[in-house]
Amino acid sequence: MNTILHKSISRGVLSVAVALLLGTGIANAGKPGPVGAANCTYFGNSSNACTSELGTLCAAIEGAGSLKPRDRDTVVSKTIGADIKLEQDKILEADAKLYKIELKLDSLVNAPKPKIIGGDANAISAALTAAQTCVDGL
């Protein structure tokens, strides 16, 4: 199987798995609206030291109307991943997930044709900084 096809299949399987895990259903996987809202409701069931900051980050991502659904889902998934790592007491891995969000945000802002507007980027950046500060303090 060629690499591109394999990556495409892997992403599709991951999207379906995340949708099922979050109880959002396959029909809505990768679409804006209720799927994203359901993703952020994950933080209502989490209880680590940085859940509040990560939930705020998730809400900022969801509120970024200039983000394409695919980019939004990617960043929300990384935010949930960071929370899961904290639940497992894997602080360095959670910090790495937040760093990946920072890199993704930078790439979206600095793309030849920016994929996120300034106000959305600033809101996510502020929430990300608070989440990183929280995780770094653990």
Average of per-residue pLDDT values in the chain: 77
Closest CA to 76 of 50, 114, 104, 49: 104
Predicted pLDDT at 13: 41
State phi, psi for 91 to the nearest 5 degrees: -65, -45
Q: Phi-psi bin for 31: left (phi > 0), alpha (psi -120 to 50), beta?
A: beta
Contacts 24+ apart (CB under 8 A), 73-78: 73/15, 73/30, 73/35, 73/36, 73/39, 74/104, 75/101, 75/104, 75/105, 75/124, 76/36, 76/39, 76/40, 77/18, 77/39, 78/104
d(CA 61, CA 91): 22
**What digits encode the pLDDT tens for the residues 23-42?**
433 333 333 444 444 478 77
Beta carbons within 8 Å of 80's beta carbon, 6+ residues apart: 39, 42, 58
The proportion of the chain whose per-residue pLDDT surpasses 90, expressed as a percent, equals 58
- The one-letter code for the residue type at 21 is L
In the structure, what pLDDT confidence band is assigned to residue 20 with cuts at 50, 70 and 90?
very low
* pLDDT exceeds 90 at position 107: yes
Predicted pLDDT at 40: 81
* pLDDT exceeds 80 at position 44: no
Q: Which token pair is 84?
A: 């899961």
**What digits encode the pLDDT tens for the residues 52-69?**
999 999 999 999 999 999
This prediction's pTM: 0.71
d(CA 58, CA 43): 9
Predicted pLDDT at 46: 74
Predicted pLDDT at 27: 34
* pLDDT exceeds 60 at position 72: yes
